[in-house]
Structure 1
Amino acid sequence: MTWDETYPEEFFGPRSSTLLIKNLRGIVTGRLGEVVREVETVLIEGDRIVAIGGPADAEADVVIDAKGAVALPGLFDTHTHFSIGDFNPKQNTIGFIESYMHGGVTSMMSAGEVHFPGRPMDRFGVKAVAVAANRSFTNNRPGGVRIHGGSLMTGPYMEEEDYADLAKQGIWLMKVGFGGFNVPQDAVPHVRWAQAAGFVVMSHSGGASSVPGVAPITVDDLIAMRPDIAGHINGGTTSLPEADVERLVKESDAALQLVQAGNLSASLNIQRMAAEHGALDRVILGSDTPSGTGVMPLAIIKTIAELSSIGGVPATDVVAYATSNAARVLRREEGVLEEGRPADLVLVQQPVGGPADHPIKALNRGDITGIAGVIINGQIRALRSRNSPAPIREVEVQSHR
């Protein structure tokens, strides 16, 4: 549903309004190494956070009583397979983007429009798909989610000047691994050309995809290509061998992407290796959906719960994988709760019926939190999630001045 269908302006205030969130139990900043910060208020003006921990009676057009919720930065899904609009033909799915927003995801990155019906694999066709998808998601944001679409599916048919030309059209994402390179390392010059033009480059890695014609990409290929993101190294769906992952951690500086659609055992081993080598700041999360694995609106928050509870890493740090780590790799301002940053927040409570008395404790023991509110660009996009477990307390929109 659109903003107007879900929360009419006459009730929640104009889109440029001030929004005060009070009675918080604390915030998670999204940065590695930081614990829950015990503050009770966040004040938003327009689309920016302007004060954290200020007075609870500050003037605001809209006031949310958080009822003891904890505020997290909005979550990034860095591996999503869009086509055009809120539809994916792989699973014949309509409305999945808004549904992921109900899972706390406020930013989604294209891993290539590989399920585009009749996807072209020629120089002009792939450029046209990237530009069309980019323009589509610029003009249409289902659920208010920040959609980073139009990821160029590069191939041997591309020429050096194409990358600079596409950058002028606003294209800044590229995917290696679905464009027809019979020898993956033939993509090396294309990666260099794209990065020189300002692209963030992701490479497929591990075993072959369910998409026909996609070859495995080994650690030698990844080290030679030097992508910005080594995609789904825990498997999409088949993971890299453990020894190869260790080489990737030691011999590259690529972001280490873990996806819900991959191998959980591999994810835990990769997290352990990254911790041992001081590389947790390189770990980012994605869903790798919709795909053959299906549609998973709670993919990111579920991954956070798993990596924390089984992997023994504090949930506040695992949240950073899906917030500040991802934002840094994608060169975005979102992902950290601090003054001056974009106002993308998720309000979470411990779930009804669970033993934890705090939402972060719930994640630490492997329980998905109850999502009680999602705010994107300073606008309320959802209150109680239709997908998460029920929060122990629901937030209230208390006043509109």
Structure 2
Amino acid sequence: MKVAVVNIGSILTGDLAAPFAAGDVIVMNEGRIETIGTDCPPDCDVVIDAAGTVAMPGLIDSHVHITFGDYTPRQRTVGFLESYVHGGVTTAISASEVHVPGRPRDPAGVKALAVAAMKSFAEYRPGGMRVHAGSLILEPGLTEADFAELAALGVWMVKAGFGDFTDPDEYAPFVAMARAHGMVSMVHTGGSSIPGSSGIWAENLLAIRPDVSYHVNGGPTAMPEAGFARLVEESEIALQVCTAGNLRTTLLTAELLTGAGALERLLIATDTPTGSGIMPLGIFYTISHLVSLGGMAPEIAVAAATGNNARVYRLNSGILAPGRDADLVLIDACAGGSQDDALSGLRNGDIPAVGAVVTAGVPRFVGRSRNTPQTQRTVRVAHSNVVERFDGAAH
């Protein structure tokens, strides 16, 4: 399917180095972005009129507690991932399948869980969302051969923080084995989040050396404040801030990374569904907090939730550029609000209205999200050769 979005007001790329792109037309073909410019080819199957709204990459939530299917046993809710698409989230990354009821804790069990989750979401796209599942929960007894076996099967993520270890520093050799096999490693940060887990502080992270400090701002409680500066100054670890964490230390993390010239290490996620609930608009709320309270430019905050995540997790999405995955969201100021465009709204502390979501080059809905107020401008399908409604009327 060849899809074009025309009459775009501005284009946020998600790339910190070049956060805006020139042009007002994005053409997508066979799941990838073909061109960004000013010309709309005549052979498009679908043409979406953006009506002057802002185009941005689909949000990448790099901390989602999936289980199997579009269901969360923690909140006993069906359809939460499809609902996140209506919040502009086009990619979810598993924070490990730790919420699976009765989850196994032995090496054979955690290996089987990771493989099953990874394979079950390989083709399953709730609401059109990509879900990267199957994050190995690190447990005592795993061996080098286990990591080699899992890597050969396609598992590429590991999670530390919920295993049966007495001292968090004991995760270090397991993270090193994962890295040797090309896996991305994440470590719980902050106080205990569920019964049986333990607090993990900056000194532990500096010993473990993961790729990502999960919810460095607390999940839900933050580590001692002195640790934030240590992580920024003494490591290259990506620091993920989550909506379900501590807002004050979210702003502190962004301030420290800005001062160090290291904003490429800032990742935005939600850490949901958890006890904090289901948050389809969670990432947009954190973006609005960083912009309105922390003084961050909107395009930079968007990059922290898109291109930065894509770089750390080695994804082809997250940046609007030719050859990248065609995951795109149109946003605007909310109808009835005090601001005239999405970026001004973010500076004011408002979440944006979502007017359309495209994933893998396929429009998932056009016109109005069920989770945000209406856009000020009317986004619509201007032309379609496809016998399908994209207005989300069924929702």
**What range is the shorter-chain TM-score in?**
over 0.9
Question: Contact 2:201–2:224 at 8 Å: present in 1 too?
Answer: no
* Matching residue of 2:71: 87
One of 49, 57, 61 as aligned partner of 1:77 = 61
Cα offset for 1:400? 2.0
* Matching residue of 1:241: 224
Between the aligned partners of 1:339 and 1:196, the Cα distance in structure 2 is 32
1:385 paired with 2:366, answer no
Between the aligned partners of 2:375 and 2:126, the Cα distance in structure 1 is 24
Between the aligned partners of 1:306 and 1:270, the Cα distance in structure 2 is 13
Alignment of 1:2-17 (within 5 A): 17=1
Counterpart amino acid of residue 277 in structure 1: A
* Matching residue of 2:339: 356
Which runs of no fewer than 5 residues in structure 1 stay unpaired?
1-16
1:232 paired with 2:215, answer yes
Which is further off, 152-161 or 313-322? 152-161
* Matching residue of 2:34: 50
One of 92, 107, 125 as aligned partner of 1:108 = 92
1:319 paired with 2:306, answer no
1:212-268: CA deviations, max 9, x gaps?
Answer: 210111111100110000110100001122210100011111100000000001100
Between the aligned partners of 1:166 and 1:334, the Cα distance in structure 2 is 24
Counterpart amino acid of residue 130 in structure 1: A
Counterpart amino acid of residue 49 in structure 2: D
Cα offset for 1:39? 2.0
* Matching residue of 2:393: none
Question: Contact 2:19–2:303 at 8 Å: present in 1 too?
Answer: no
Output the TM-score relative to the length of structure 1: 0.94
Between the aligned partners of 2:140 and 2:263, the Cα distance in structure 1 is 34
1:258 paired with 2:261, answer no
1:372 paired with 2:366, answer no
Question: Contact 1:89–1:117 at 8 Å: present in 2 too?
Answer: yes
Counterpart amino acid of residue 278 in structure 1: G
* Matching residue of 1:287: 270
Between the aligned partners of 1:295 and 1:376, the Cα distance in structure 2 is 21
Question: Contact 2:327–2:359 at 8 Å: present in 1 too?
Answer: yes
* Matching residue of 1:27: 11
One of 321, 339, 346 as aligned partner of 2:329 = 346
Cα offset for 1:33? 5.2
Question: Contact 1:34–1:317 at 8 Å: present in 2 too?
Answer: no
Which runs of no fewer than 5 residues in structure 2 stay unpaired?
386-395
Tell me the SS of whatever aligns to 1:244: helix
Question: Contact 1:20–1:58 at 8 Å: present in 2 too?
Answer: no
Counterpart amino acid of residue 282 in structure 1: R
1:184 paired with 2:168, answer yes
Distance 1:308 1:33, change over 3 A: farther
* Matching residue of 1:307: 290
Between the aligned partners of 2:295 and 2:34, the Cα distance in structure 1 is 34
1:158 paired with 2:142, answer yes
1:142-185: CA deviations, max 9, x gaps?
Answer: 01111011110011121121011001111001100011111111
Counterpart amino acid of residue 296 in structure 1: M
Q: Percent identity?
A: 46
Question: Contact 2:216–2:222 at 8 Å: present in 1 too?
Answer: yes
Question: Contact 2:216–2:241 at 8 Å: present in 1 too?
Answer: yes
Distance 1:35 1:160, change over 3 A: closer
Tell me the SS of whatever aligns to 1:391: coil
Cα offset for 1:58? 3.7
Tell me the SS of whatever aligns to 2:48: strand
Root mean square deviation, CA, Å: 1.1
Between the aligned partners of 1:319 and 1:252, the Cα distance in structure 2 is 24
Between the aligned partners of 1:291 and 1:320, the Cα distance in structure 2 is 25
Alignment of 1:130-145 (within 5 A): 130-145=114-129
Between the aligned partners of 2:329 and 2:170, the Cα distance in structure 1 is 42
Task: Give the count of matched residue pairs.
Answer: 384
Distance 1:364 1:34, change over 3 A: farther
Between the aligned partners of 2:185 and 2:19, the Cα distance in structure 1 is 32
Cα offset for 1:358? 1.4
Question: Contact 1:344–1:377 at 8 Å: present in 2 too?
Answer: yes
